[in-house]
Structure 1
Amino acid sequence: MTVETSFPVIETERLLLRKAVQEDAADMLRYLSDEEVVRHMGLNPFNSLQDVYGELDWYREIFQVGTGIRWAISLKGSGIMIGSCGFLNRKPNHFRAEIGYELSREYWGEGIASEALQAIISYGFDHLNLERIEALIEPSNAPSIKLAERQGFIREGLLRHYEYTCGKFDDLYMYSLLKMDWRSKEIKTSADNTKKDI
């Protein structure tokens, strides 16, 4: 298993994806205490900074043992953490990982989640040697379904009562994106951009 030693920072046009630190706890509590934000995450709304410290411990643990990585999402020029994104349940021997994200409600609808996911998908295929990226999405989570499909994820099926969270069993759609599909999408996007420039 390849274990990262220094935390990678990713820059996009508008975003800085970086390590989440204890100083981010108040920002995290602000959005993780929002029932609308955590509704499809299998979590109850956070009530205290202690809840957030537990989340930060999990971010650190999955990075240290190599089973995942979670970036803080912040706007360039602002230190404020407005969400997170990354990989979990990474299985290096099978070249796959699961993708996940959440975003503060005040930033919904601005293309930020899409911009962040594009960056980490590229990172996963280019630097983590992933062949397959999975997304497990509740059927009622229409915005995340739309976002995944825009990135090229394919729905493979329904996992019935796959998780037990917040006192209930959840069905989840299994979506996947393969490296070859992503490369084809990148080539097509590059070709389309070249045509626009001509």
Structure 2
Amino acid sequence: MKIENHLKDMPTFETERLLLRKVTRYDLDDVFEFSSDPEVAQRMTWEKNDSKEETLSNFLQPTVDGYKDGQSGVWAIVYKESEKVIGTCSLVEWSNEHQKAEIGYVLNRKFWGAGIATEALREVLSYSFGVLQLNRIEGGCDLDNIGSEKVMLKAGMTFEGVLRKNERIKGEFRDTKIFSILKSEFDSVSIHSSK
């Protein structure tokens, strides 16, 4: 079954601290909070949002519309204790033919360094390899984005190399570190962690 068909009925996941669910227009205030933070946007390909209208038109509404035909692979990361949306974790750039996808995530700065992005990412990886039957998941981060690098390594991903000057970020060509994990590796990690 195609990835899009699964994502039309995107499931909700619950972890120890988090709820992962579809984003909605009602999440605008929470999403704008981290999207408008210059430190959060600094190493992202997008600019910081200057208005809620920008967040709604550039991200929230297209994402909500994309759920209808399985074109949005975005989960809101909800911190259960406060019921606040503190970030997103996404499957992007997927290929049915090659059974692979790219992951992405963004997190409110107040929650950096607490293992939350890794907790969310592991859940999305489990779904990707288990239900979607993908063979490979990859992710990238800016060369000096140590926090993002740690998230992927803690989730069991392997550093593959550096793509030189492959993205223009804030008007400057930047290098990207590439990480990946294969289904066989994830299955092996899952088996050992459950023993």
| Superposition TM-score, scaled by structure 2 size | 0.91
Return the match for 2:117 from 113, 120, 128. 113
Range moving further from structure 2, 133-142 or 74-83: 74-83
- CA–CA distance in 1 between the matches of 2:150 and 2:184? 21
Which residue does 1:31 correspond to in 2? Answer: 34
Return the match for 2:146 from 133, 139, 142. 142
C-alpha contact 1:161 1:171 (8 A) present in aligned 2: yes
AA partner of residue 39 (structure 1): Q
C-alpha contact 1:67 1:91 (8 A) present in aligned 2: no
- CA–CA distance in 2 between the matches of 1:28 and 1:123? 24
- RMSD over aligned Cα atoms: 1.6
| Superposition TM-score, scaled by structure 1 size | 0.90
In the TM superposition, residue 189 of structure 1 has moved relative to its aligned partner by: 1.1
Establish whether residue 13 from structure 1 lines up as the match of residue 16 from structure 2: yes
In the TM superposition, residue 39 of structure 1 has moved relative to its aligned partner by: 1.6
Which residue does 2:51 correspond to in 1? Answer: 48
Which residue does 1:151 correspond to in 2? Answer: 155
- CA–CA distance in 2 between the matches of 1:67 and 1:169? 28
Aligned length: 191
- CA–CA distance in 2 between the matches of 1:68 and 1:157? 28
Structure 1 regions of 5+ residues with no counterpart? 192-198
CA deviation map 1:128-153 (0-9, x unaligned): 22110001111100111112112221
Establish whether residue 161 from structure 1 lines up as the match of residue 160 from structure 2: no
Structure 2 regions of 5+ residues with no counterpart? none
CA deviation map 1:92-146 (0-9, x unaligned): 1110000111111111122211111111110111122211000111110011111
Question: 1:94 aligns to what SS in structure 2?
Answer: coil
C-alpha contact 2:99 2:135 (8 A) present in aligned 1: yes
- CA–CA distance in 2 between the matches of 1:90 and 1:79? 30
CA gap of 1:157–1:189, structure 2 versus 1, over 3 A, is: same
In the TM superposition, residue 63 of structure 1 has moved relative to its aligned partner by: 3.9
- CA–CA distance in 2 between the matches of 1:184 and 1:7? 26
In the TM superposition, residue 66 of structure 1 has moved relative to its aligned partner by: 3.9
Establish whether residue 128 from structure 1 lines up as the match of residue 132 from structure 2: yes
AA partner of residue 29 (structure 2): A
C-alpha contact 2:164 2:175 (8 A) present in aligned 1: yes
- CA–CA distance in 1 between the matches of 2:68 and 2:173? 30
- CA–CA distance in 2 between the matches of 1:140 and 1:134? 18
CA gap of 1:61–1:23, structure 2 versus 1, over 3 A, is: closer
C-alpha contact 2:35 2:41 (8 A) present in aligned 1: yes
In the TM superposition, residue 49 of structure 1 has moved relative to its aligned partner by: 1.1
In the TM superposition, residue 77 of structure 1 has moved relative to its aligned partner by: 5.0
